[in-house]
Amino acid sequence: MTSILVVDDNPAFSGAIERSLTRKGCRVTTAADGDEGLRAVHQQSFDVVITHLDAPEHGCVWLWENAVQVRPELRGRFLMVSSEPLPRAAPANFILESEHVLVRPSHADALWHRVQEVLQRGGATVKPPSGGDQISRSAGDR
């Protein structure tokens, strides 16, 4: 079973991702921030970590830096969700060379497709997407 950690401070958004990926047969753990996400990484291994690129304090970059120290196998297994296309001078560009980015709002099938890409990079086998869930975040959330 594919194990996914979702780190996002918006419970509605992380809940939507959790429901969508659970329907795909994944085991999903959620964390409200980077600190909670890092504790989860210390406690168990994950196949994919999904987090918001623009997360506040102890957010995406901090989580990535610390998580790959604890579990080096997570390098290349982060799916960073952004509210808008990334500028060339984005603060996390050094990470983006090895990681994946998804711009939201996004359809659940787009999320599932990106999760498959992350898993296939590591040689995992995944089943094809089905269904038509919508995953979005209102503009006022970020």
Examine residue 87 and say whether the peptide bond preceding it is cis (omega within 30 degrees of 0).
Answer: no
What's the confidence (pLDDT) of residue 55?
67
Identify the three-state secondary structure at position 69: helix
What's the confidence (pLDDT) of residue 38?
97
DSSP secondary structure, 8-56, as one string: -S-HHHHHHHHHHHHHTT-EEEEESSHHHHHHHHHHS--SEEEEETT-S
Contacts of 111 (CB under 8 A, 6+ apart): 17, 20, 21, 50, 102, 135
Average pLDDT over residues 38-50: 96
Question: Where do the domains of the chain lie, and which CATH numbers do they carry?
Answer: 3-141 (3.40.50.2300)
pLDDT above 60 (res 139): no
Range scoring the smallest mean pLDDT among 29-33, 34-38, 54-58, 88-92: 88-92
Taking a C-beta distance cutoff of 8 angstroms, is the pair 58, 41 a contact? no
Band (pLDDT 50/70/90 cuts) for residue 141 is very low
Tens of pLDDT, residues 56-96: 666 788 899 999 999 999 999 998 887 766 655 455 555 66
Average pLDDT over residues 16-33: 95
Enter the tokens of residue 78.
């982060």
Q: Which amino acid is at 142?
A: R
Distance CA 110, CA 5 (A): 17
pLDDT above 60 (res 14): yes
What's the confidence (pLDDT) of residue 132?
42
| 104 DSSP assignment | S
- In percent, how much of the chain has pLDDT > 70? 70
